Structure 1
Amino acid sequence: MSEAPLPAIRSLPSWLLGRAAARGRALVAEALAAEDMRMWHHVVLSAVRDLAPVAQADLGRAVRLDPKDLVGVLDDLQGARLVVRAPDPKDRRKNAVSLTPRGARLLERCEKAARAANDELLAELSPAEREQLTGMLRRISGTAAG
């Protein structure tokens, strides 16, 4: 058989995007694992850095993570002394989450590792093609630049 099976499926942009996303997730997960970090932990650390101090509920909405799952991730991050939870200065009935200096240092290493993994994913593309692809992905995913 000279042709790959399922040519109709394999020609769909949705199938190709799914394959590219799976490869990208695998590359980033492997890079983060070298820092003893998992994907959701990295996402939450990054969001905490950008939003801190952030109410736990607002954090969950920002990263679109179920509250029960977020609690588990935050428990792990707090146990590793990467974040702190304290009464929210805006509403003392709520917890606000902030990054610790240790968390900021780890996040910096994780971001470097994730960028390297993405460079590997996009190695076949020129810088202009990378920028174009990223712009097109933002458009079709409904994700604003920035």
Structure 2
Amino acid sequence: MSHSTPDTENPPGRPTAAERLRNLGTRLLSLAAIRSDRLVNEKLARAGARKWHYAALATLEEFGPASQAELSRRTGIHRSDMVAVINELAERGLVARTPNPADRRQNVVSATPQGTEHLRELDAVLAEVEDEVLSPLTAPEREQLARLLAALVERPDRTM
């Protein structure tokens, strides 16, 4: 039986969560990811985009034209979802699909000039989100956090 009164305000200076929760790295990482993901989705939606749009356009810019299968591998977007992403981007004139000269059964996807311009706009949106999410950190702390997160994500034994 609980000795606290539900729905009462927390007195100033008193922690809002149990210490074991406040110090649990996986919980903190999850909470930060949830907040970041929400902000990214909201801001990209206002710019007429989704995270997968950004991933596809950024990958095309960095690596050049690619088959849908290659784009799926490079972005981690499932092949069936990639078809929908490419369709959405193509309908808006942000990517073009052309037959692969080496294999006519396959399309090659490339960013259009409009897609490249849209990517620049999305870069600015995401830079704002990053500044907002990481505002409590100094520049060196942001760099350190990026290195630490990359180490977690890029582990050879990762199962994501």
Gaps of 5+ in 1: none
The Cα shift of 1:6 comes to: 4.7
- Per-residue CA deviations over 1:82-107 (Å, capped at 9, x if unaligned) read 00111124433311100011111111
Between the aligned partners of 1:124 and 1:89, the Cα distance in structure 2 is 51
- Which of 93, 99, 103 is residue 91 of structure 1 equivalent to? 103
TM-score, length basis structure 2: 0.82
Name 2:84's counterpart in structure 1: 72
- Structure 1 residues 9-48: aligned runs within 5 Å: 9-48=21-60
More helix by share: 1
- Per-residue CA deviations over 1:99-145 (Å, capped at 9, x if unaligned) read 011111111000111011001111111111111111111112227xx
Between the aligned partners of 2:102 and 2:61, the Cα distance in structure 1 is 18
Amino-acid identity (%): 35
- Which of 118, 121, 140 is residue 130 of structure 2 equivalent to? 118
CA RMSD of aligned residues (A): 1.9
- Which of 145, 153, 159 is residue 133 of structure 1 equivalent to? 145
Gaps of 5+ in 2: 5-13, 156-160
Between the aligned partners of 2:102 and 2:37, the Cα distance in structure 1 is 36
- Per-residue CA deviations over 1:15-49 (Å, capped at 9, x if unaligned) read 11111111111222222122111111111111122
TM-score, length basis structure 1: 0.89
Between the aligned partners of 2:17 and 2:29, the Cα distance in structure 1 is 18
The yes-or-no answer on 1:49 pairing with 2:61 is yes
The yes-or-no answer on 1:81 pairing with 2:93 is yes
The Cα shift of 1:10 comes to: 3.9
Give the residue type in structure 2 aligned to 1:80.
R
Name 1:60's counterpart in structure 2: 72
| Secondary structure in 1 matching 2:98 | strand
Between the aligned partners of 2:122 and 2:151, the Cα distance in structure 1 is 26
Aligned residues: 144
Name 2:117's counterpart in structure 1: 105
Give the residue type in structure 1 aligned to 2:64.
A
- Per-residue CA deviations over 1:46-93 (Å, capped at 9, x if unaligned) read 112222210110100111111111111111100011001111244333
